[in-house]
Structure 1
Amino acid sequence: MTAFRTEHRCPLPPAEAWRRVTDWPRHGAWVPLTRIAAEPPGPTAPGTLVVARTGLGRLAFDDPMEVVRWTPPAPDRPGHCRLVKRGTRVIGWAEIEVRAVPGGSLVSWQEDARVRGLPRLFDAPTAWAGRLVFGRVVRHLLATPAHPR
């Protein structure tokens, strides 16, 4: 598997940071060649399927991820979301944690994923690219207000 972690501090309260980083369709604005949708529409909960469609035309593929843990932040605990990749091409998991820190929140994105058929030789560059892409995604989601739900 290709594991990576990225962390970002922001001045937002945990509830707002959580709302922004778990607004799944907005992720697609910052992930190249990707659209993201959640099924069923509405509030996220365990069992929600988040599907990222990446690529162009016939070269596109789906990366379905099931939400298996959904615990929004509260005054006495951090928020935690765990997604398990359920696709045929990409396997693994991702976790998002949002915790209160002095002056705002700390958002952590951790992922351990593999593209089936990709040799292990590509693990290090894939982890580097994951940190780069998801670091950018989290920074932009935290900096850009989400639409109210």
Structure 2
Amino acid sequence: MSRFRLERSSPLAPEEVWRRLTDWPAHGRQVPLTRTRVLTPGPNAAGTRFTARTGIGRLSFDDPMEVVRWEPPAAGRPGVCRLAKSGRVVRGWALVEVTGVPGGGSRVVWTEELSVRGVPRAFDPVLATAGGHLFARALKNLLNAA
């Protein structure tokens, strides 16, 4: 499995950062050739399921995910969201952590570990680098969204 970890700072309050990073359809708007559909009605919580579909036409694949840990940030406590990826093509997990910082703002840590069906383990470093670049761009855009 390939793993990458991104750390970012934001001047936004932890609650706003959390809201932006757990807006699953917004992720689809940041990742090229991807759209995200939430499958579970109601607000986000443990058990929320959604699918990111990436590609064009028949050259597409689904990346189904489920929120398995949901702890929004609160006074003096960081927010933690863990996603389980259970697709036929992409498997693994993601962990999103949002912490308030003294003086205001937030610190975000996004860690992801995944494997792609048919891609040999020897390519894990390439996959981790590509995933890190892709998610760094998405993270930047989500945090900077108006």
Please tell me the TM-score bracket, short chain as reference.
Answer: over 0.9
Distance 1:135 1:74 in 2: 25
- Cα offset, 1:29, TM superposition: 1.4
Q: Pairwise CA RMSD of aligned residues?
A: 0.9
Matched letter for residue 11 of structure 1: P
Distance 1:140 1:21 in 2: 10
Matched letter for residue 9 of structure 2: R
Q: Which residue of 2 aligns with 1:19?
A: 19
Name segments (4+ residues, structure 1) moved above 3 Å: none
TM-score, normalized by length of structure 1?
0.94
Q: Which residue of 2 aligns with 1:55?
A: 55
SS at match of 2:29: coil
Distance 2:130 2:20 in 1: 22
1:1-149 equivalence runs, <5 A? 1-102=1-102, 103-145=104-146
Q: Percent identity?
A: 58
The number of residues matched between the two structures is 145
Distance 1:141 1:41 in 2: 23
Greater CA drift, 36-45 or 2-11: 36-45
SS at match of 1:69: strand
1:64-90 Cα deviation digits (max 9, x unpaired): 011100000001210000000111111
- Cα offset, 1:42, TM superposition: 2.8
- Cα offset, 1:121, TM superposition: 2.0
Q: In structure 1, list runs of 5 or more residues that go unmatched.
A: none
